[in-house]
Chain A
Amino acid sequence: MSHETETPSTLLKLDDYRVGFRTERGLAKAVDGVSYELNSGKTLAIVGESGSGKTVLNRGIMGLLGSNINESGSVKFQGEELVNTNRQKFWGKKMAMIFQDPMTSLNPVMKVGKQVSEPLRLHQGMSRKEARHRTVELFTLVGIPEPSQRFDEYPHQLSGGMRQRVMISIALAIEPDLLIADEPTTSLDVTVQKYILDLLVEVQKESNMAMTIITHDLGVARGRADEILVMYGGRVMEHAPAETLFNEMAHPYTSALLSSIPKLDDPKHTRLTPIEGFPPDIVDGPDGCKFAARCQYAQENCLSELPDTTVKGDHSYACFYPIGTDEGAKAFASNAERGHTAAGLKIRAKEEVI
């Protein structure tokens, strides 16, 4: 990761941030040493395997994980250290989060309009009438049809995408300095998705808000983010400006992830290529690179040593045998020759890189 000196526009700075859940089996290290910086006005996309720690990382930053956790390392927000402090005073105007599953974060027995207008009254001191008016305005803005009628409906009466847009309108109401959006558009069709993302960018330009978007949609990440962070097993595998990540990807995990996407040009029922094997156990994980067991490039040392992060300008990655380097090419060739990796994984034909 780049460890430049903090400039005034650095809004968020993580250094070796870790979160562990105390479980019966031991500490579940969901976030295991993450470092990055995010500036005001910028958008960071976080992508990565399901269960790789994207949500826990961001709920951790927000201080939304309860007390049954171990938190360490550093998270500085506007220069202030957050780790092991109560962050409630930042919620709202300073930082806000759109949650992954709108149904679980909206109150099922409260009218949706009220769920948006209450915080407006609370945080912005609006009267009941003003807040209702503003809420209807926001519903219109995010494209909820018949907004004043919808104000008085309950979450189950809305479609999945409308619920998601209710969540988004809460965030828009606040215009926080940092907005964390956990899969904000999974329930939206592509036209509404495009519209909502445009809307967020507009708000971002006006208010210089910083955004973290967690997404599985690599098209969205590429088109909308300034930078992309690729996570696996609670760690950052690769971090680069969006186009650099796609054009000069270095980490075998990034490449494997990309090659499992169904392609629009392929005919129906084309066999997909998932990454073989399973993600690492986060309680009792491997010593070496977390991806080693599933990596086509893995050599003996990958299994025992944790690779350092290589920093090349604004591109960084944690791998001994990165793609596009001589070491990487040699590692792959030697695995191809013996037919398997150091971890015993069979080598398949060279991954097709998009």
Chain B
Amino acid sequence: MAGSGNNHLRENTDDTLLRVENLVVEFPSGRRNKVHAVSDISFDIMEGETLGIVGESGCGKSTTAKAIIQLPKPTAGKVEYQGTNLTELDKEGMRQQRPSIQMIYQDPISSLNPRRTVFNIVNEGTRVWSTEHGAAQEQKVDEMIEAVGLDPREAKTRRPHEYSGGQCQRISVARALVLDPKVIICDEPVSSLDVSVQARILNMLQDMKEEYKLTLLFISHDLSVVKNVSDRVAVMYLGKICEIGDGDLIYEKPTHPYTRLLLAAIPDPKNKHKDITDILEGELPSPLNPPSGCRFRTRCPRATEKCAAEEPEFRQIGNDDHWVACHFPHIEGDDLGPNDEISWPPDPQK
């Protein structure tokens, strides 16, 4: 496997709000195969902290997010929320935890009930979960709808299909925020928003973080957005975490070959990593039959036999909050990196 070991986990204290250990999620595929969507990943999030997750499409980000709220229950591993292992809870136990863990789903339009008015959609959760009632609660719903930039009066009669894509996304944000959750798991919460509305929502999340110690797991393909909102960032590839740590460090000095390629591809004329010319090519690996050793090796410009034989363990870079799972990371003063030309193409032998 690629990226093993739990060296990068911090001490489990009262401040640890969410701690995911050795999470595995597999889906059956066809009669005999299975999709290794998430393979043995671990991370922790402190109260009031934001962990950003980035990574290749299909690498298991949404699956990780959903596994936290037990949809579906993971194949193996632990999801500890404020000291409770959620994987051991029954339906009722999980129901009690749900108001404080909210999720914003990736597909904004299809995750909203098309037959209900937008007001009712946002109100839905409060009716089930909230302690407030009647006018006070309705006012809160209105305020939240307004806070995401929509007109609360219109929300009373209009249904999701009468709104634009970005407006639907804001409805899901409002629906999650109105319940005063402790954690919000955001799967691409701003992908359909124009940059101005996006800025407004990101500022709002930041305010809630400062005011109520809101904790966030934030998945996005927009690397500038992830950098802005996150304290720490995890980079995923094919069901594994390959680099994790302080966001500014990872963006400043990416060390995993995949992280470097990812940052190099950001379409921004001022991107300072754009000169990294290693090309991401090679055989596209399959989550049905992931490569042995390091999962990135089939496309990695630095791969050697060792990468096929052994899965790299997380190692710390200096004394920083910066961890990488790679045999040959790009670390200054570290001359472990083999000559790229000699090692390419990697040995396809397993």
B2 at the interface (CB under 8 A from A): no
Residues of B within 8 A of A56 (CB): 164
Stretch at the interface among A85-93, A120-128, A260-268, A345-353: A260-268
Contact B192–A186 (Cβ < 8 Å): yes
Using A219-B267, A264-B224 as known contacts, say yes or no to A149 and B30 having CB atoms under 8 A apart.
yes
User: Contact mask B158-171 → A, CB, 8 Å, 1/0?
Assistant: 00001111111010
Stretch at the interface among B4-12, B175-183, B194-202, B302-310: B194-202
> Could you tell me the distance between the alpha carbons of A157 and B265 in the complex, rounded to whole angstroms?
27
> Could you tell me the distance between the alpha carbons of A329 and B62 in the complex, rounded to whole angstroms?
48
Cβ-closest chain A residue relative to B106: A160
A3 at the interface (CB under 8 A from B): no
Using A103-B109, A194-B265 as known contacts, say yes or no to A189 and B224 having CB atoms under 8 A apart.
no
User: Contact mask A40-55 → B, CB, 8 Å, 1/0?
Assistant: 0000000111111001
Contact A267–B248 (Cβ < 8 Å): yes
Using A160-B107, A219-B267, A263-B224 as known contacts, say yes or no to A257 and B195 having CB atoms under 8 A apart.
yes
B144 at the interface (CB under 8 A from A): no
Residues of A within 8 A of B195 (CB): 216, 218, 257-258, 260-261
B29 at the interface (CB under 8 A from A): yes
A308 at the interface (CB under 8 A from B): no
Q: How many A-B residue pairs have CB under 8 A?
A: 197
Query: Within residues 253 to 292 of chain B, which ones have a CB less than 8 A from any CB in chain A?
Result: 261-262, 265-272, 280, 284-288
Residues of B within 8 A of A186 (CB): 188, 191-192, 221
Contact A268–B228 (Cβ < 8 Å): yes
Residues of A within 8 A of B267 (CB): 190, 193-194, 217, 219-220, 222-224
Size category of the binding interface on chain A: 35 or more
Contact B57–A51 (Cβ < 8 Å): no
Contact B196–A101 (Cβ < 8 Å): no
Nearest CB in chain A: distance from B187 CB, A: 8
Contact B54–A257 (Cβ < 8 Å): no
Using A160-B62, A192-B56 as known contacts, say yes or no to A48 and B194 having CB atoms under 8 A apart.
yes
A146 at the interface (CB under 8 A from B): yes
Cβ-closest chain B residue relative to A157: B27
Give 17 A-B contacts (CB < 8 Å), ordered by A residue: A50-B164, A50-B194, A100-B192, A145-B285, A152-B30, A153-B29, A159-B62, A186-B188, A188-B57, A217-B222, A222-B267, A222-B269, A224-B267, A258-B195, A260-B199, A263-B224, A264-B251
Other 9 A-B pairs with CB < 8 A, given A101-B168, A146-B286: A49-B194, A162-B58, A191-B265, A216-B193, A216-B195, A262-B202, A264-B266, A267-B248, A274-B197
